[in-house]
Structure 1
Amino acid sequence: MTPSNFAALAPTVRQHRYLEPSVFWSIRQGFSKRLALAIASVSLIVPLLIWSAVSYSGLVTPLFLPAPTVVIAAGIKMLTEDNLLFDVLVSSSRVLAGFLVAAIIGVPLGIAMGTFHSMDNLFAPLVGTVRYMPVTAFVPLIVIWLGLGEVSKILIIMLGVVLYNAIMVADAVKFIPNEMINVAYTLGASRRDILFKVIMPAAFPSILDTLRVNISGAWNFLIIAELVAAQNGLGFKIIQAQRFLQTEKVLFCIAIIGIIGLVIDYGLRWISRKLTPWADQGRS
């Protein structure tokens, strides 16, 4: 037998292609905190530089896009002369109250829908239908039913968030593997044990993530809520400044809402890490 025949009989060796290490495109691998901070800084500084270049160069009329220094000066004036801190506290209390009510209603409803088919069949058609109805369409009815007080504003914020809480929590519960439940049944667990010792601990990290994501929706509905005969609040300040074409005040109030939202987001992430150390903290 010739050498060529031996070569033909020899097993073919697969050529493996090994991935080269990557700093920016590594998938769920370690990442330097210093580099992460640098990238985050760039993501904030670059838009600010573009804004400064466009506004200071005069490419856009100051009425439509005032310079950053003009916005900061207007903000300082609002803080010192217009009592803006009081408006921040008022808006924060409204968002907090509306979001807490939405969590108290939405989270148990979502757990029930995700756990029991009977509850899912009972509430899913209603939740799925009302979810597509714009909250703004209910504002006249809310004013008629509850008047122009704080309750109506809190209800508007609650309605804007509660159904999303319920749907996202229900999906989180449905993603719990059936094997976990079957093993608990095999070990003699009751339905109550399954709910409180298997389902709720397994879904708890996702519930915290749901609340962290949806609290941004509560701030979005704040402007709608403060359209209802409000005399204070960040939404009221934005609407008032809009009427007089005070763009710099509008931008400063929007920036304040963004900063508050960023603080809340990182605060909830910290709470999630402390309460659920077993969960994958790499998720967004």
Structure 2
Amino acid sequence: MSIVSKRKRRSAEPGKVYGAPGAGYSGHISVMTAIVLLALWFLVTGMGWIKPIFLPSPGAVYGKFIEAATEGVANSTLAQHTLVSLGRVMGAFLLALVTAVPIGILMGVNRTMRGLFDPIIEFYRPLPPLAYLPLVIIWFGIGEFPKVFLIFLAIFAPMAIAARAGVKSVSIEQIHAAYAMGASSRQIIFHVILKAALPEIFTGMRIGIGVGWTTLVAAEMVAAARGLGFMVLNAAQYLASDTVIMGIIVIGFFAFSFDLLLRYLERIMIPWKGKI
């Protein structure tokens, strides 16, 4: 068999000859990084290099986790705090999903909608939630709705902007081809623009859920009796750093879990992403 025929049989996939930037599995690196950081935590606290009030040992944090799960902290168990916070974040996320995505798509396909919403979103998007928290309290009081509304505002902007960016990424040739085959404007939006914008929409959803969890602590600063953010803030007032770190780990766990879930849904719903 000639050398030419061997090369044809072993033809490399696109990007594999020279190596695509960032290609390759990195999970083992992430696992090793986590192990090293955990080992450093054990070492630093075990040797007494940092006082427990600033950095408690992993054993102390684990003990506080067991105590919170069984006896409870801040007048509620860890499960009760978690369920309340999950309800607030997921309620705000779903509300943003059914409003921000349609508005973002309309901003991309309609200049009037873009003119109406673009200045509002671009004005408040860079503001930290604590900046407009007092105004939300003045408008809606200190009940449950202001907490969800504050998280909703934080999630809404990145999701709307991502949906609009997804519309702008649609190839004009695809739209012209659909019109040439007799598609209506509604069919163009639902079957061409929306599907082509899905990768950007999922990116906005991932960013939005992350922003929602970071806003949770601010939302639970005022008149909250339960919640992970409330638990962390309450513990900080008494310098209970073991409870603070335990709460941070729990919040990070759920935030990361939801991100993994969105990645999984993205792979199922957008199998063509990165292949065309």
Which one of the candidate residues 194, 203, 209 is aligned to 1:200? Answer: 194
Which one of the candidate residues 233, 236, 242 is aligned to 2:236? Answer: 242
Q: Report sequence identity in percent.
A: 36
Counterpart in the other structure of 1:147? 141
Counterpart in the other structure of 2:156? 162
Q: CA deviation at 1:40?
A: 2.2
Pair 1:224–1:53, CA change in 2 (3 A): same
Identify unmatched segments of 5+ residues in structure 1: 1-22
- Distance of 2:137 and 2:23 partners within structure 1: 53
- Distance of 1:148 and 1:55 partners within structure 2: 40
- Distance of 1:107 and 1:84 partners within structure 2: 33
Query: Which deviations, in whole Å up to 9, do the C-alpha atoms of 1:39-98 show, x marking residues without a partner?
Result: 221121111112222111111111101111111111111111101111011101100011
Pair 1:235–1:118, CA change in 2 (3 A): same
Counterpart in the other structure of 1:27? 20
Identify the range of structure 1 (121-130 vs 198-207) with the bigger mean alpha-carbon deviation. Answer: 121-130
Which one of the candidate residues 104, 111, 117 is aligned to 1:110? Answer: 104
Counterpart in the other structure of 1:267? 261
Query: Which deviations, in whole Å up to 9, do the C-alpha atoms of 1:104-140 show, x marking residues without a partner?
Result: 2211111011122232223212221122333222222
**What is the SS of the residue equivalent to 1:228?**
coil
Identify the range of structure 1 (83-92 vs 265-274) with the bigger mean alpha-carbon deviation. Answer: 265-274
- Distance of 1:96 and 1:30 partners within structure 2: 33
* Larger-Rg structure: 1
Which one of the candidate residues 62, 81, 84 is aligned to 1:87? Answer: 81
- Distance of 2:174 and 2:84 partners within structure 1: 45
- Distance of 1:207 and 1:170 partners within structure 2: 9
Identify unmatched segments of 5+ residues in structure 2: 1-15
Pairing 1:77–2:67 present: yes
Counterpart in the other structure of 2:170? 176
Q: CA deviation at 1:146?
A: 1.6
**What is the SS of the residue equivalent to 1:176?**
coil
- One-letter code of the match for 1:145? W
Cα RMSD (Å): 1.9
Q: CA deviation at 1:29?
A: 8.3
- Distance of 1:155 and 1:199 partners within structure 2: 29
Identify the range of structure 1 (174-183 vs 222-231) with the bigger mean alpha-carbon deviation. Answer: 174-183
- One-letter code of the match for 2:62? I
- One-letter code of the match for 1:42? M
Q: CA deviation at 1:30?
A: 6.7
Pair 1:153–1:29, CA change in 2 (3 A): closer
- One-letter code of the match for 1:65? L
Counterpart in the other structure of 1:122? 116
Counterpart in the other structure of 1:40? 30
- Distance of 1:213 and 1:140 partners within structure 2: 25
Pairing 1:50–2:40 present: yes
Which one of the candidate residues 218, 222, 231 is aligned to 1:228? Answer: 222
Which one of the candidate residues 210, 218, 222 is aligned to 2:212? Answer: 218
- One-letter code of the match for 1:247? S
Q: CA deviation at 1:255?
A: 0.4
Which one of the candidate residues 270, 279, 284 is aligned to 2:273? Answer: 279
- Distance of 1:241 and 1:133 partners within structure 2: 27
Q: When the two structures are superposed, what TM-score results if normalisation uses the length of structure 2?
A: 0.87
- One-letter code of the match for 2:102? P
**What is the SS of the residue equivalent to 2:215?**
helix
Total equivalences in the alignment: 255
Is the 2:92–2:152 contact (alpha carbons within 8 Å) kept by the matching residues of 1? yes
Pair 1:273–1:67, CA change in 2 (3 A): same
